[in-house]
Structure 1
Amino acid sequence: MNKKRLFVFEGTVLKKLPNSTFLVYVSKIEKEIFCYISGKIRINYIRITQGDKVKIEVNKMCSSKGRIVYRIK
């Protein structure tokens, strides 16, 4: 993805779904976003559970889907 066409938000994981996908609530825009895990998180076996704070990237064109890029401790 082109870095210039992305929004970066912080959100909370509401629900874990099959195939490494999650439902994330972003309070800044008051919206639930369907997210998948980035490759770096997958390679390094970082566990994401319900209630974790995460940083996500959302494409400007399709704001209903995003990618989890960082788990905030």
Structure 2
Amino acid sequence: MSNEQSFNDEKNTSFNLKNKQRKQKKLVDMEGIVTQNLSNGKFRLKLENGVEVIGHLSGKIRQNRIKIVVGDKVTVELSPYDLTKGRITYRHR
């Protein structure tokens, strides 16, 4: 019985990893410039194609206390479902 259970646990773990990889592939990475600082770690961004979106800081940027100010060039992850909101994942130097 324990062999079957451990096999099922391994199967579920590999299934969950595949699902996470699929979810990550759906995101669209774009570069943009910060045009306005909004409240609660949100920013108004102008993307390289001219579209304006609202982006919030990713957890790693908050965790490492990276400061983002108006005029910074950043990388934004956009979901294909809502192209007006995104997550700021990197600040370029």
Partner of 2:47: 26
Structure 2 counterparts to residues 1-73 of structure 1, below 5 A: 2-28=23-49, 30-73=50-93
**CA–CA separation in structure 2 for the residues paired with 1:4 and 1:45:** 27
Structure 1 runs of 4+ with >2 Å offset: none
More strand by proportion, 1 or 2? 1
Measured on the aligned residues, the alpha-carbon RMSD in Å equals: 1.1
Greater C-alpha radius of gyration: 2
Unaligned runs of 5+ in 1: none
**CA–CA separation in structure 2 for the residues paired with 1:27 and 1:39:** 24
**CA–CA separation in structure 1 for the residues paired with 2:73 and 2:24:** 22
Instruction: Return the TM-score normalized by structure 1.
Output: 0.94
Task: Give the paired residue count.
Answer: 72
**How much identity, in percent, do the aligned residues show?**
39
Instruction: Return the TM-score normalized by structure 2.
Output: 0.75
> Does the Cα contact within 8 Å between 2:77 and 2:87 map onto a contact in 1?
yes
More helix by proportion, 1 or 2? 2
Higher relative contact order, chain-length normalized (CA < 8 Å, sep 6+) = 1
Unaligned runs of 5+ in 2: 1-19
